[in-house]
A and B are shown apart, each in its own frame.
Chain A
Amino acid sequence: KNEVEQSPQNLTAQEGEFITINCSYSVGISALHWLQQHPGGGIVSLFMLSSGKKKHGRLIATINIQEKHSSLHITASHPRDSAVYICAVNQGAQKLVFGQGTRLTINP
């Protein structure tokens, strides 16, 4: 079992829909990251969380440390949101442990 599990693995939705991507982890962490990866490979950091909730534009990220669970929400989704969304956790001082990613496709 992976230390970081994301669901769903693939998600297709219509423009305007509310999107939720989930991340569960089994190790102790000091922070959790949500990342976005577009075709071609480059990764952009969306959020870094250690508790509570953060909001940036149409994106909202929440984390529940006790339940070892985080969610990424996208409101009023748009085709340009289509990408792979990756959850990663800080494990110790040296490394990030990544989930396998959720491929999101938003159709017009």
Chain B
Amino acid sequence: ETGVTQSPTHLIKTRGQQVTLRCSSQSGHNTVSWYQQALGQGPQFIFQYYREEENGRGNFPPRFSGLQFPNYSSELNVNALELDDSALYLCASRGGGTMNTEAFFGQGTRLTVV
């Protein structure tokens, strides 16, 4: 039990639709990162939020966007879904603004785009 919960656990969407995935972090964890994990691959960094501001972004297009809220929850939004967006989406939370603290991962949301 990591104290990080994601919802929903599974989701099926149609190409072109929009999706919002949610993550509830541990209390006091003001940094949250989102990752995309394609089948058989390691997770890829999408972006990170620290104190409700995006402070790092991986190689993902602008249709991937996020929000972080004062209650330690966050969202990942993906617009204009493509088939290749099908993946497991993971969020990880930690305290502090640097990476040298332990990260706690959620169970992930498995998104299927058809």
Contact = CB atoms under 8 A, between A and B. Distances in A.
A and B bound? yes
Interface of A: 4, 30-31, 33, 35, 40-45, 48, 50, 86, 88, 90-101
B2 interface: yes
Nearest to B94: A45
Contacts of A33: 102-103
Interface residues of B, number: 30
Interface of A is mostly: strand
Nearest to B104: A45
22 contacts: A4-B42, A41-B108, A41-B110, A42-B106, A44-B105, A86-B42, A90-B99, A91-B99, A92-B56, A92-B99, A93-B55, A93-B56, A94-B45, A94-B48, A95-B45, A96-B35, A96-B43, A96-B45, A96-B92, A98-B43, A99-B42, A101-B41
Nearest to B48: A94
B88 A94 contact: no
Interface of B: 2, 33, 35, 37, 40-45, 48, 55-58, 88, 90, 92, 97-100, 102-108, 110
A98 B90 contact: no
A86 to B, nearest CB: 6
A45 to B, nearest CB: 5
